Chains A and B, each alone.
Chain A
Amino acid sequence: MNEVLTRLQTLAAKRFGDKALTLDANADFFEALGIDSLQALDLLTDLEEAFDIEVPDYELADVTTFGGLAEVLEARL
């Protein structure tokens, strides 16, 4: 879980800046990073490519934190 979380924060930092690296796992990343749903879909594309998985976006419907996102990814690995 920690490894997944670290990887996803690294990917998010590449797209949205270093603030993503220091964000608490339970913080709302939409709010903290100021991203919108289209940017979230860009991040989803990055994650699918990096983890070599497919994540239907309805899995992310209620996900607003990196901790929650890491759980969704874990379940697909």
Chain B
Amino acid sequence: MELAGEALSWRHHGPALEVSLHRGPTNEIGTAMLRELEALVRYVDSGAGGARALILHSTLASGFCAGADLRELHEGIAERSERRRSQVGRISRRLPSPLRALTERGAKRVGKALVKREIGQFIDRVHSTFNALDEAPLVTIAAVHGPVFGGGFELALTADLIIAEKSARFCFPELRLGIIPGFGGIPRLERELGNALTRDLLLTGRSLGARRAAELGLVAQVVPRDGGLKSARRVAEQAARFDADTVGRAKRFLKKTPRARIAAEKKLFLEMVVEDRVADALGDFVSRTDVRPYLP
């Protein structure tokens, strides 16, 4: 089976199922991308047409993935807040002024609770998808280049191996927006690298080049520009030589999904994401027209 979707496509190539991300500008993860990743997970659950490996890569020159779709997140929060404000406005106009103020404060709290619930539902779907990719019985390879930022970094961290072209840079810029990563990135980075470097990357928001990421054990191979997919195919061919059941059991032994930490991350993320300063920071980010939005 092949899929040509809006945000991603997949096809079989040798023993591998190749998943190409291709939603501009840089494969931001919003509802369209998530919907198709969920379809991918269903296909993998059904046996992935006999594929033995899964390669995740981007066909866009701009990079692997720049993270969550902040524009969609910002517009979602703004639209819900506006809808709530207008509903409350209609009611409170008929009330005496002391009651009006109380109503408006209460409505703001209710509005935030609704936004929190909706974002929570989205995060649950992301976690379910990312956990399924993390635990897929196939050998999973992320072949990355350019920005591997935020949610894109979190997606790459679900793979068994990361093959990075020299241009790849890994970064968690979320603290600039007043939030933390929410797609399971912190627990998975801790799993791969340990807490000290995770703190460095998270608390400074700096990016890590491919070569340094390989020295630290995050990246399995560093390859020349445009060499990621080719190298990933070689890995897939090699891994397919081994018995599928043996590979699956080895993987289950080697790679545990840090579920409790992921749940704790979600709780903290949801507390933060409904704060007013996050809405302001998102608004600033999506309206920026300068050339330096990706520098700290």
Contacts and interface: CB of A to CB of B under 8 A. Distances in A.
B291 A30 contact: yes
Contacts of B295: 37, 40-41, 57, 60-61
Contacts of A44: 169, 209
Contacts of A41: 147, 169, 207, 294-295
Contacts of A57: 171, 206-207, 295-296
B166 A37 contact: no
Contacts of A58: 204-206, 296
Nearest to A36: B291
Contacts of B206: 56-58
A6 interface: no
B258 to A, nearest CB: 26
Interface string B49-64: 0000000000000110
B60 to A, nearest CB: 12
A36 B147 CA distance: 13
Interface residues on B, range: 20 to 34
Given A38-B63, A56-B206, A58-B206, A48 B212 contact: yes
B292 interface: yes
Contacts of A40: 292, 295
Interface residues of A, number: 18
A54 interface: yes
Among B166, B206, B294, B295, chain A packs the most CB atoms within 10 A around the CB of B295
B185 interface: no
Nearest to B292: A37
22 contacts: A30-B292, A35-B291, A36-B291, A36-B292, A37-B291, A37-B293, A41-B147, A41-B169, A42-B167, A44-B209, A48-B209, A49-B166, A49-B209, A49-B211, A54-B212, A56-B206, A57-B206, A57-B296, A58-B204, A58-B205, A58-B206, A60-B295
Given A36-B294, A54-B212, A58-B204, 19 more contacts: A30-B291, A30-B292, A35-B291, A36-B291, A36-B292, A37-B294, A37-B295, A40-B292, A42-B146, A42-B167, A45-B167, A49-B166, A49-B209, A54-B209, A57-B171, A57-B295, A58-B206, A58-B296, A60-B295
Interface of B: 62-63, 146-147, 166-167, 169, 171, 204-207, 209-212, 291-296
Interface of A: 30, 35-38, 40-42, 44-45, 48-49, 54, 56-58, 60-61
For the complex of A and B, 9 pairs with smallest distance between CB atoms: A37-B294, A36-B291, A56-B206, A37-B292, A58-B296, A37-B295, A57-B206, A45-B209, A48-B209
